[in-house]
Amino acid sequence: MVSPRTPTSSNSSALFESDDTFLEALVGAVLPGDVIPQANNAEETVQNQPETLPSPNEASSSSLEPPPCAQPAWNAYSSIGRVDEQEAQSIDSSSKAQSQLLSKHSHLGQDYEPSLPELESPTPAQSRYKRAYSVSSDDEHPALAHSPVHAPDNRCTDSYLDPDTYGASRFGGFGEYMRRKRAKLQIQNAEMGGTTPTVVASTSKLFSGLSIYINGWTEPSVQELRKLIVDYGGVYHAYIDKKTLVCVMQFSPHAHFPGMITAYSTHIITCSLTPAKVREFKHMKVVRPEWLVQSVKAGFLLPWQDFIFVTGGRVESAQGRLAQISLKDFAASKQSTDIAQGVGLARQNPPCPDKIPSTPLPRLPSPQTPSPVLSPRVLPDPAWSAEHTSMAPGFIAGYYANSRLHHLSTWKAELRTLVTEAQERAERGDVHRVSESTAGKGESKQHDGAGLVSRPHLRGKPVVVCHSQHAQGGASSTSEIASASYEARGFGIKNGMSLQQARKLCPDIVMIPYEFDKYRELSLKFYTILMSCVDDLQAVSVDEALIDVTSTVAQSKVVPTGVDEENDCTSTDIAKELAEDMRTQIKAATGCEASIGIASNIMLARLATRRAKPAGSFHLRLAAFTDLLPSLDIQDLHGFGRAAREKACEKLGTSNLGELAGRSKAALCDALGNSMGETLYNAVRGVDERKLESDKPRKSVSCDINVRIGFPSHLDQRMLTHTQYGIRFENDDQVEAFIHQMSEEVARRLDSISVKGRSLLRSRS
DNA sequence: ATCCTCCCCTAC
DNA sequence: TAAGGTAGGGGAGGAT
Ligand SMILES: [Mg+2]
């Protein structure tokens, strides 16, 4: 909550506190039911936060105190097994030894977590939480600017006699089935209204003539709303058919014809719409439940226009956001688990002017002027060791500061942003781009060795990058090796190994520390060079990118033969020349070697990169690829990993691409799923139609940290001697404090990209 | 058939 | 003293 507010969102100062509280409240409330996933409209809550949301402390204190018996609900999908499965996969594909160890442990105690029924009644925390959602706000609805605004007079409205805005004016027939269903429902409604007359005559017709459908999760609940509608003379529809909706008929609610069955849905009530529903209901009158509630309270029907349901992203400054939160179950099982919080992004923000580097065309900002979008995180004083617990303030920042994986993710997000911005600038300028042709794709990858640039004396020696600072000594370090030089690999050292193991293989191993800032600087130089050479670029990671050099190659192709065509075997390979030129530039600018794979599509280019390593370039043509097939495994393809390989072996009897090339598409789809199957079917034929994705907006922001909850059992103790992984919690307070920090972290990140959350989703694990 | 939700998988 | 973070594709299976 310390970060400066971004000028783009008008209510930003309230925003992040709210989100934060919101998230935290959710964490506590999420357990029993299924209400959370659709909860959204965070904006409303946000804007009303001061008076309606519980204070952070209040939320915190109760959010994690459901009675112990409630916790098993979280375990309905206890992820213990799954977590360890993930562990077994390991982050770096090479940390096998440790992973397998974990995998075994995972079967010790927790194989079958009984799936317990979810609780029905909301906990107090949940109630309060839901209340927070139901707050209606007076925020102007920008979307209404162009629609008729009705004076809040008491007429129950002729207000929707203007079909132009929301009502469709086309007609269509009803299906008999749905019509009968609706009629039946109305009878039920009538009966219900008769048996439980909550209201007196004068107001009882408040909703007469209204025919209302309720979609999705709402607050108040569907049941409550239905009662409200029926009690006040409206008609509730539990079902909807599209024809009816598209042909919404509008009529005065005053016109109440006792004998007539109201067969038209006039309004849709919702708190949350999925994108598909938004599309579907585009021309409908979609209203928030407050319309009903407030109308009853007021004693007359308020204009529905004042309660139009607005999805997060409207044309103006309102940026739709989808918030997601997730936490690995840290319930009674006391096992390794992940805690995660996040928001999904419904749409991208308009670029914030002060964030656009003023650099000219398709160039990245120079490394000397790092983008303010993501400035390096400040490291806390290492002297925190006194209070070194997972719930100490600043723990997460410190954790991240040392996490290579976090840096990888952060860098990637930043690079994608920079690339997108640079391209927007390029397109806004007069840069003319020829029509898309997928003639030349390349994959460029920085060779590792960044740590050696400033340590030339270590070149040629077995070097590993890892955390341990102690030169030798501590033979028991479990610090993971992030990267090993080729010389070190010669000793059998692999990325992902523990330092301890590596020392066994090579006692004289040289260790160098992470230098995250340096990597980032080098990366920006690397990308800057690429950007200047290519038509299009997709950031893959801090040291890897996909580039499209079609026009460059095609332009220079004064020479007859096509460089990207398979029949080209001439000595002049313009693409390769370009690649070598880029390699030279990269080497000059960064001191690092780069490898470049060239091919006619992404899949082949990625394979080519493997052949280009180390420190070279390689143009892979279709014929060569076909020859190569029998030597390739399905795992060698991007997107196909361990699980795909196992499925292939199990269901197809082989994971060899040469053999799989002979299988039918149906067989592959059957084994791997339709999408993966088809991808593979095409891949073995050298076909890959994907285009570079350089401008896809980010869809979510999340925070995810692997922790371990509870006192270790005997079994766990043994595990822990083998793996030090896992931040450990001993009680709910610690968990709570930790989750609070994670909430803050997500809020901070949203803030940093001028984005606002729209709804929260649950995820567990 | 198409959606939504809850995951699993993959990559760096 | 070690830091297994995260975004996004996609499948399974249920609801509509
Ligand atoms: Mg692979």
Asked if the model's pLDDT at residue A752 lies above 70, the reply is yes
Asked if the model's pLDDT at residue A492 lies above 90, the reply is yes
pLDDT interval class at A270 (50, 70, 90): confident
Contacts of A461 (CB under 8 A, 6+ apart): A485, A487, A510
Comparing A468 with A454, the larger pLDDT belongs to: A454
* A742 closest-nt by C1' vs CA: C5
Structural tokens at position A688: 């890959």
Distance of CA A29 to the CA centre of its chain: 22
What is the predicted pLDDT for the residue at A82?
A: 27
Asked if the model's pLDDT at residue A352 lies above 60, the reply is no
What is the predicted pLDDT for the residue at A38?
A: 29
Asked if the model's pLDDT at residue A108 lies above 90, the reply is no
Q: Which residues of A361-376 are buried (b: 16+ CB within 10 A; e: fewer)?
A: ebbbbebeebbebbee
What is the predicted pLDDT for the residue at A72?
A: 22
* A719 closest-nt by C1' vs CA: C4
pLDDT interval class at A764 (50, 70, 90): low
Mean pLDDT for all residues in chain A: 62
Helix axes A714-722 and A96-109, enclosed angle (nearest 10): 180
What would the mean pLDDT of A225-232 be, rounded to a whole number? 83
Measure A468 CA to ligand 1 centroid, in angstroms.
30
Positions of A marked active-site = 544
Instruction: Collapse the DSSP code of A568 into the 3-class scheme (helix H, G, I; strand E, B; otherwise coil) and give the result.
Output: coil
Distance of CA A273 to the CA centre of its chain: 18
What would the mean pLDDT of A490-497 be, rounded to a whole number? 92
Q: Which residues pair with A342 in a beta bridge?
A: A324, A702
Ranges A226-235, A285-294, A436-445, A633-642, most confident? A633-642
Q: How far apart are CA A296 and CA A381, in angstroms?
A: 57
Q: Where are the alpha helices (DSSP H) in A534-634?
A: 550-555, 574-590, 602-612, 622-628
pLDDT interval class at A425 (50, 70, 90): confident
Q: How far apart are CA A493 and CA A499, in angstroms?
A: 9
Asked if the model's pLDDT at residue A50 lies above 70, the reply is no
Q: Which residue is nearest to nucleotide B12 (CA to C1')?
A: A541
Q: Which residues pair with A510 in a beta bridge?
A: A463
What would the mean pLDDT of A306-313 be, rounded to a whole number? 71
Structural tokens at position A191: 């009966």
Asked if the model's pLDDT at residue A526 lies above 60, the reply is yes
What is the predicted pLDDT for the residue at A628?
A: 96
Instruction: Collapse the DSSP code of A144 into the 3-class scheme (helix H, G, I; strand E, B; otherwise coil) and give the result.
Output: helix
Instruction: Give CA separation, A620 vs A187, A554, A680, in Å.
Output: 71, 17, 18
Ranges A9-13, A112-116, A242-246, A405-409, most confident? A405-409
Asked if the model's pLDDT at residue A726 lies above 80, the reply is no
Asked if the model's pLDDT at residue A156 lies above 80, the reply is no
Q: Where are the alpha helices (DSSP H) in A403-485?
A: 404-428, 450-453
Instruction: Give CA separation, A153 vs A191, A228, A303, A685, A706, in Å.
Output: 32, 21, 8, 69, 56
Asked if the model's pLDDT at residue A676 lies above 90, the reply is yes
Is there a contact between A514 and A540 (Cβ–Cβ < 8 Å)? no
Q: How far apart are CA A427 and CA A362, in angstroms?
A: 9
Least confident of A190-194, A408-412, A597-601, A615-619: A190-194
Confirm whether any atom of chain B, the nucleic acid strand, is less than 7 Å from CB of A85. Answer: yes
What would the mean pLDDT of A188-206 be, rounded to a whole number? 48
Phi, psi of A445 (to 5 degrees): -140, 130
Closest CA to A130 of A190, A197, A78, A63: A63
Is there a contact between A334 and A709 (Cβ–Cβ < 8 Å)? yes
Q: Where are the alpha helices (DSSP H) in A331-439?
A: 395-402, 404-428
- CA–C1' distance A189–B9 (Å)? 47
Q: Is A203 exposed, middle or buried (0-12, 13-18, 19+ CB in 10 A)?
A: middle
- CA–C1' distance A698–C2 (Å)? 30
Contacts of A408 (CB under 8 A, 6+ apart): A541, A542
Phi and psi based region of residue A673 (left: phi greater than 0; alpha: psi -120 to 50; beta: remaining): left
Name residue, tokens 């809020």: A747
Contacts of A339 (CB under 8 A, 6+ apart): A326, A327, A328, A330, A704, A705, A707, A735, A738, A739, A742
Residues 401-420 of A with CB under 7 A from strand B: 405, 408-409, 412
Measure A639 CA to ligand 1 centroid, in angstroms.
5
Asked if the model's pLDDT at residue A27 lies above 90, the reply is no
* A746 closest-nt by C1' vs CA: C6
Looking at this protein, which amino acid is placed at residue A207? Answer: F
Q: How far apart are CA A62 and CA A565, in angstroms?
A: 66
Helix axes A395-402 and A732-752, enclosed angle (nearest 10): 70
Comparing A194 with A546, the larger pLDDT belongs to: A546
Asked if the model's pLDDT at residue A170 lies above 70, the reply is no
Q: What share of chain A is helix, strand, coil (3-state, %, to 5)?
A: 45, 10, 45
What would the mean pLDDT of A712-723 be, rounded to a whole number? 39
What is the predicted pLDDT for the residue at A583?
A: 96
Asked if the model's pLDDT at residue A601 lies above 80, the reply is yes
Q: Is A390 exposed, middle or buried (0-12, 13-18, 19+ CB in 10 A)?
A: buried
Least confident of A218-222, A482-486, A515-519: A218-222
Looking at this protein, which amino acid is placed at residue A638? Answer: H
Q: Mind giving me the DSSP string for A493-518?
A: --TT-BHHHHHHH-TT-EEE---HHH
pLDDT interval class at A112 (50, 70, 90): very low
Comparing A495 with A427, the larger pLDDT belongs to: A495
Confirm whether any atom of chain B, the nucleic acid strand, is less than 7 Å from CB of A667. Answer: no
Helix axes A96-109 and A80-89, enclosed angle (nearest 10): 170
Least confident of A41-50, A250-259, A294-303: A250-259
Name residue, tokens 């919702």: A270
Comparing A645 with A395, the larger pLDDT belongs to: A645
Q: How far apart are CA A695 and CA A424, in angstroms?
A: 9
Q: How far apart are CA A595 and CA A75, in angstroms?
A: 47
Which pLDDT tens digit goes with each residue over A66-107?
322 222 222 211 222 222 232 333 323 333 222 222 222 222
Looking at this protein, which amino acid is placed at residue A16? Answer: F
On strand B, nucleotides with any atom < 7 Å from a protein CB are: 2-12
What is the predicted pLDDT for the residue at A453?
A: 92
Instruction: Give CA separation, A584 vs A87, A530, A688, A699, in Å.
Output: 39, 12, 29, 36
Ranges A242-256, A449-463, A595-609, A695-709, most confident? A595-609
What would the mean pLDDT of A196-207 be, rounded to a whole number? 58
Ranges A76-80, A370-374, A483-487, most confident? A483-487
Cβ contacts of A385-394, under 8 Å, gap ≥ 24: A389/A734, A390/A707, A390/A727, A390/A728, A390/A729, A390/A734, A390/A738, A391/A729, A391/A733, A391/A734, A391/A737, A391/A738, A391/A741, A393/A741
Least confident of A14-28, A201-215, A503-517, A604-618: A14-28
Asked if the model's pLDDT at residue A602 lies above 50, the reply is yes
What is the predicted pLDDT for the residue at A235?
A: 79
What would the mean pLDDT of A235-255 be, rounded to a whole number? 39
- CA–C1' distance A83–C5 (Å)? 15
Asked if the model's pLDDT at residue A227 lies above 60, the reply is yes
Asked if the model's pLDDT at residue A685 lies above 60, the reply is yes
What would the mean pLDDT of A342-348 be, rounded to a whole number? 61
Phi and psi based region of residue A570 (left: phi greater than 0; alpha: psi -120 to 50; beta: remaining): beta
pLDDT interval class at A3 (50, 70, 90): very low
Q: How far apart are CA A498 and CA A511, in angstroms?
A: 12
Confirm whether any atom of chain B, the nucleic acid strand, is less than 7 Å from CB of A610. Answer: no
Instruction: Collapse the DSSP code of A405 into the 3-class scheme (helix H, G, I; strand E, B; otherwise coil) and give the result.
Output: helix
Comparing A294 with A63, the larger pLDDT belongs to: A294
Cβ contacts of A583-587, under 8 Å, gap ≥ 24: A583/A615, A583/A616, A583/A617, A585/A529, A585/A533, A586/A444, A586/A446, A586/A525, A586/A526, A586/A529
Comparing A453 with A229, the larger pLDDT belongs to: A453
What is the predicted pLDDT for the residue at A675?
A: 97
Least confident of A302-306, A562-566, A743-747: A562-566
- CA–C1' distance A654–C15 (Å)? 37
What is the predicted pLDDT for the residue at A220?
A: 75
What is the predicted pLDDT for the residue at A43?
A: 30
Q: How far apart are CA A199 and CA A232, in angstroms?
A: 7
Least confident of A23-32, A197-206, A305-314, A497-506: A23-32
Q: How far apart are CA A587 and CA A523, in angstroms?
A: 12
Confirm whether any atom of chain B, the nucleic acid strand, is less than 7 Å from CB of A611. Answer: no
What would the mean pLDDT of A556-583 be, rounded to a whole number? 67
Confirm whether any atom of chain B, the nucleic acid strand, is less than 7 Å from CB of A645. Answer: yes
Is there a contact between A214 and A173 (Cβ–Cβ < 8 Å)? no
Longest Cα–Cα distance in chain A: 95
Q: Is A628 exposed, middle or buried (0-12, 13-18, 19+ CB in 10 A)?
A: middle
